[in-house]
Amino acid sequence: MTTTSAFILNVRLDNVAVVAIDVPGEKVNTLKAEFAAQVRAILKQIRENKALQGVVFISAKADNFIAGADINMIGHCQNAQEAETLARQGQQLMAEIQALPVPVIAAIHGACLGGGLEMALACHRRICTDDVKTILGLPEVQLGLLPGSGGTQRLPRLVGVSTALDMILTGKQLRARQALNAGLVDDVVPQTILLEAAVELAKKERLAQRTLPVRERILAGPLGRALLFRLVRKKTAQKTQGNYPATERIIDVIETGLAQGSSSGYDAEARAFGELAMTPQSQALRAIFFASTEVKKDPGSDAPPGPLNSVGILGGGLMGGGIAWVTACKGGLPVRIKDINTQGINHALKYSWDLLETKVRRRHIKASERDKQLALISGSTDYRGFSHRDLIIEAVFEDLPLKQQMVAEVEQNCAAHTIFASNTSS
């Protein structure tokens, strides 16, 4: 293998093959279409080496296994058929990993997400570190997609259908111990012994099959499955109001695989992936993802931060009251609330009172501490007490002329250095 390959094969003296994943020139490992040939070349060597006892996939990066597939691959697809083909290629590669004749272990440290977890699911066993940086999940739904390389079919069979639905529909990411409890990984070890623990697991001639919990076994049956999917569809529809096609397709694909077999499930998964990739929802969510990534790279201004000693809030509604609570009771900063009437101010004060009083009743804080924090919040129906505020946050209802009026009033009643911020979209 060349040094430019993202997958590097090393056969140990004990006849365990270690495949190190290290995408050249990148901080994190992501799967790209061009890596398929590299992986297949390694798989060919593994199949031909009859002395091998097992295989371990492990990352050579410091703090990540595989962070997912390269999303740019989807953007290069011109139509649903091309995106579907991309998914089928991923499915085929994962099937080839799963079909290896010796035990295959994924040794996971750091982020194992999306296509990275799908690759780990194709391995026969998974072992991960107890590090806080180790997380496992299938977040494709957050991009308006579903897992396209077999994740919708392998995960339900490994952890149970209800756990899999929860993970895939929400994009939930599990910590190491959560993954162990769910049956997603077989062991959790310190990072220092990850490789050796994976090698020892690979040497075992027969890997014991995990038994699903009783609840998951019941839900896997025809009756339990029908009831579960009916409930999941109802709850999902209530949340999405039909505006999020990915969740509906995820449910369809998982149900198809369980009812008609994995072959039908893989076919449905690939077709759904291709169709979802072309939806405006997915295109918009992917654009947001790329924009968010660019924002994280922005080093920001070199200007020194200004003072932040007190805050003003315009509007005493639910949002204004919540901001006042966080600013005063969590941030320890004095807050002045302005509302058009005293009822709004009282509402905001009551919001903080109720939360603090609950803490007093539970003996989390003393009454004196409650009073001290409440004293940081004051209010009025005019701009008295706003002249020295460093930050003003408007949190009123969506009325553009009203907001424009507030900007003008703040300019008249506040200091030149005051920052005006909005919590709404107008």
pLDDT, tens only, 341-352: 999 999 999 999
What pLDDT does 1 receive?
A: 42
Least confident piece of the model among 54-63, 232-241, 283-292, 394-403? 394-403
Give the span between the Cα atoms of 47 and 45, in whole angstroms: 6
- Note the pTM of the prediction, 2 decimals: 0.74
What pLDDT does 30 receive?
A: 95
Task: Give me 11's structure tokens.
Answer: 């056969």
User: Dihedral of CA 409/413/419/421: which sign?
Assistant: negative
Q: Taking residues 125-146, report their average pLDDT.
A: 97
What pLDDT does 260 receive?
A: 94
322 conformational bin, left if phi > 0, alpha if psi -120 to 50, beta if neither:
alpha
What pLDDT does 207 receive?
A: 66
Q: Taking residues 127-146, report their average pLDDT.
A: 97
Answer yes or no: are the C-beta atoms of 411 and 392 closer than 8 Å: no
What pLDDT does 348 receive?
A: 93
State phi, psi for 125 to the nearest 5 degrees: -145, 160
Give the span between the Cα atoms of 335 and 4, in whole angstroms: 57
Q: Which residue ranges form the domains of the chain, and what is each CATH number?
A: 7-284 (3.90.226.10), 311-422 (3.40.50.720)
Give the span between the Cα atoms of 232 and 224, in whole angstroms: 12
What pLDDT does 120 receive?
A: 98
Least confident piece of the model among 32-36, 40-44, 86-90? 32-36
**Degrees (nearest 5) of the Cα angle 334, 335, 336?**
130
Q: Coil, helix or strand for 180?
A: helix
pLDDT, tens only, 276-329: 999 999 999 999 998 888 877 777 777 788 889 999 999 999 899 999 999 999
pLDDT at 215 over 90: no
**Degrees (nearest 5) of the Cα angle 115, 121, 127?**
110
Helices (H), 99-221: 115-122, 151-159, 161-170, 176-182, 194-203, 214-220
The share of the chain scoring above pLDDT 70, in percent, equals 98
The share of the chain scoring above pLDDT 90, in percent, equals 81
Q: Taking residues 367-386, report their average pLDDT.
A: 95
Mean pLDDT of the chain: 93
What pLDDT does 426 receive?
A: 56
Q: Taking residues 257-277, report their average pLDDT.
A: 96
Determine the straight-line distance between the first and last CA of the chain, rounded to whole angstroms. 56
pLDDT at 208 over 70: no
Other Cβ atoms within 10 Å of 142 Cβ, number: 16
Q: How confident is the model at residue 2 (pLDDT cuts 50, 70, 90)?
A: very low
What pLDDT does 190 receive?
A: 97
